[in-house]
A = this chain, B = another copy of it.
Amino acid sequence: MSLLVVGTVGIDVIHTPTGSAHDVLGGSATYFAYVGSFFTDVHLVSVVGEDFPPEYRELLESRRIEMSGVEVVPGGKTFRWRGRYEEDMNRRETLEVHLNVLEGYRPRLREEHRRIPYVFLANSSPVLQLETIEQLDAPELIVADTMDHWIRSEHDELLRLMRRIDGLVLNDQEAQLLADEKNLVKAAHRIQQMGPKFVVLKKGEHGALFYDGDATYVLPAFPTTDVVDPTGAGDSFAGGFMGYLAANRSKITAHALKEAMAYGIVAASFTVEGFSLERLVEVDRAAVEERMERFRQMVRL
């Protein structure tokens, strides 16, 4: 099955305790699509400016990523983000954001995109995420990401969104905020009761937690000593998670969702080993499977 992702494509400047990367390819939909392309065809819907470097477009097009849905705004500038990670790389600070062409952008799906059954709504306003859902013809699995900003500023719209999606993916602190609950297991349970069939909490270096109203699963992160840049880890997780499900075609059971979560964890473990996509471009499906097998062995009891 094909995979549709609607989200941001951008240009990042990233500072970490060990180095910096300037004007590198970033954006939630970028990481998601790149990882998803290890598993299946990915259709990317986003917007960039005329300044978007052709080599970045070529990098994405060299994979199984179809980019007819990436609007180029004449004379426009691409979304830009600059951030700095602290010594504890679970913490980061946004230093600059320039929405540029994202300002006022509303995703309009082309006819062929509306029929794609597996859909990921990367982090954006719940209003836009809802508008995207309205345009879908036959979704089989809709998963959305969100963040603290929307939990605070568009709470009602987010609650509305949660009743329209199959899965919500969010990080641990966001889950605590949304559920008003510090215990992560309880927080996941509460959020699941707000509407989605399942919830996945991303815990960064501590792995991920899944709850579907019945099963609760927790998996650790794949242990890597080589954390260079955590940017895009969450979106890579989502790309591996949904890529596996879309390619797998099997019934979406709790067990399949756990397997998918493991693929997401493995994908994210590659992403953090380099700035931007630099580590991911060295990776292929075989490398993912090899690390997945090591992960299986690691947690086998």
Interface residues of A (CB under 8 A from B): 87-89, 182-186, 189, 203, 205-207, 209, 216-221, 223-225, 227, 258-259, 262, 295-296, 298-301
A220-B218, A301-B299 known; A225 and B87 CB under 8 Å? no
Q: In the complex, which residue of chain B has the Cβ closest to the Cβ of A176?
A: B88
Q: Is the CB of B223 within 8 A of A216?
A: yes
B88, B186, B221: the one contacting A218 at CB < 8 Å is B221
* Cα–Cα distance between A265 and B258 once the two chains are bound (Å): 20
Q: What are 26 A-B pairs with beta-carbon distances under 8 A?
A: A87-B182, A88-B182, A183-B205, A183-B225, A183-B227, A185-B223, A185-B224, A186-B225, A189-B225, A203-B206, A206-B206, A206-B207, A207-B207, A216-B223, A216-B298, A217-B223, A218-B299, A219-B220, A219-B299, A258-B301, A259-B301, A296-B301, A299-B299, A299-B300, A299-B301, A300-B301
Listed from nearest, the 10 A-B pairs whose CB atoms lie closest are: A218-B220, A206-B206, A299-B299, A185-B223, A296-B301, A186-B225, A185-B225, A216-B223, A220-B220, A218-B223
Q: Is the CB of B205 within 8 A of A220?
A: no
B residues in contact with A186, CB < 8 Å: 225
* Cα–Cα distance between A220 and B258 once the two chains are bound (Å): 14
Smallest beta-carbon distance A112→chain B, Å: 35
* Cα–Cα distance between A180 and B189 once the two chains are bound (Å): 37
Q: Is the CB of B207 within 8 A of A184?
A: no
Q: Is the CB of A184 within 8 A of B205?
A: yes
B residues in contact with A184, CB < 8 Å: 205
B residues in contact with A223, CB < 8 Å: 185, 209, 216-218
Smallest beta-carbon distance A260→chain B, Å: 11
Q: Is the CB of A207 within 8 A of B220?
A: yes
* Cα–Cα distance between A219 and B207 once the two chains are bound (Å): 10
B residues in contact with A207, CB < 8 Å: 206-207, 218, 220
* Cα–Cα distance between A89 and B209 once the two chains are bound (Å): 18
Smallest beta-carbon distance A81→chain B, Å: 23
Task: Kindly list 11 other residue pairs between chains A and B, CB separation below 8 angstroms, not including A183-B225, A183-B227, A209-B223.
Answer: A87-B182, A183-B205, A185-B224, A185-B225, A216-B223, A218-B221, A218-B299, A219-B220, A220-B220, A295-B301, A296-B301
